[in-house]
Amino acid sequence: KQEVTQIPAALSVPEGENLVLNCSFTDSAIYNLQWFRQDPGKGLTSLLLIQSSQREQTSGRLNASLDKSSGRSTLYIAASQPGDSATYLCAVLNEKLTFGTGTRLTIIP
Amino acid sequence: DVKVTQSSRYLVKRTGEKVFLECVQDMDHENMFWYRQDPGLGLRLIYFSYDVKMKEKGDIPEGYSVSREKKERFSLILESASTNQTSMYLCASSPAGPLGANVLTFGAGSRLTVL
C-alpha cells in the first residue's frame, strides 16, 4: 500500500526567502506525481504534474523535482511572498492516486 | 475561466436526513470524482465516474451513492446522514484517461456538518 508523507506538517518562513517542501512515498513504481495548493476552506489548485519519466517541472517561481528511486519529491518556491501562504499537498499515482496530508506554509511579511 | 462548481459551500443537516451534494463542470471532462477531506487523514476517494451513467467505488463508498445523468453533473448522495459523515467534500474533474493521469481540477468544496 502506497504511503505518502509530507514533513513538516507546518512551516513558517520570512518573506523573500527560498524554501523547499518535501514529499516522500513508499512505492517507487509511480506513473506521476502532482503538487497542489489549498487555501483555507477552499478546494485544491493543481500546481505541477511530473510524469515518472521526468526529473523536474517548472512554473514561474515554482520548481518541482522527482527522484523515483529514493521515493522523494521536492517543491522549491523561490522568493517567497505572503500570497504563497497555503497548504501544499502532493499526490502520487500508481494503481491509485494517494494524497499526502500536506504542509501548511506561512510566509511572514 | 474553466470551473468546477459545487452548489453548496456550507450545509448543516440532521442525522438521518437525505443529503444531496451537487457538482457541475464546464470543461467537457469525462472523469469526475468525489473526495472527502478530514484532518490528519488527507483526501480519500469516495466514488468516481468516467462517463455518463458510469460509476466506480473509491476507497470509502459506504454510506454514499452517486448519480451522473449528464456529463457535466456529478451528484453525491448521503441516503441517511450520520455524524461521522461531517467533513469537507471535494468534487474534481479531469479529461479522459486513467485516474490521476491528468491534472485534476477541484471545486471549492462543500463543508457538511451533521448534527
pLDDT per residue as tens digits for the range B18-31: 999 999 999 999 99
Question: Within 13 Å and on the Cβ side, how many CA atoms surround B62?
Answer: 3
Nearest residue in chain B measured CA to CA from A101: B42
Cβ atoms within 10 A of the Cβ of A9, count?
11
The three three-digit cell numbers of residue A77, written as one number: 518556491
CB A64 within 8 A of CB A55: no
Residue of A85, A43, A90 whose CA lies nearest to B3: A43
Whole-number Cα distances in Å, A106 to A9, A75, B68: 11, 15, 39
Helices (runs of H) and strands (runs of E) counted in chain A: 0, 11
Determine, for residues B92 and A49 on separate chains, whether the beta-carbon distance falls below 8 Å: no
Q: What is the edge-to-edge ordering of all strands in the sheet holding B73-78? A: B4-6, B19-25, B73-78, B65-70
A101 and B CB contact within 8 Å? yes
Pairing of strands B56-57, B42-49: antiparallel
- Work out the average pLDDT over A80-96: 93
Contacts with A44 from chain B: Cβ below 8 Å: 43, 90, 92, 104, 106
| Residues B69-98: tens digit of each pLDDT | 999 999 999 999 999 999 999 999 998 887
pLDDT of A102 higher than 90: yes
Q: Which residue has 495548493 as its cell numbers?
A: A37
- Work out the average pLDDT over B84-113: 90
Supply angle C-alpha B99, B94, A103, rounded to 5: 75
Residue of A76, A101, A75 whose CA lies nearest to A87: A101
- CA of B41 to nearest chain A CA: how many angstroms apart? 7
Q: How far apart are CA A62 and CA B32, in angstroms?
A: 27
pLDDT of A94 higher than 70: yes
- CA of B17 to nearest chain A CA: how many angstroms apart? 24
Contacts with A33 from chain B: Cβ below 8 Å: none
A10 and B CB contact within 8 Å? no
| Residues A17-58: tens digit of each pLDDT | 999 999 999 999 999 999 999 998 888 999 999 999 999 999
Which pLDDT band holds residue B1 (cuts at 50, 70, 90)? Answer: low
Determine, for residues B42 and A34 on separate chains, whether the beta-carbon distance falls below 8 Å: no
Residue of B84, B87, B99, B78 whose CA lies nearest to B33: B99
Quote the percentage of chain A above a pLDDT of 90: 85
CB A1 within 8 A of CB A25: no
Contacts with B104 from chain A: Cβ below 8 Å: 34, 44, 46
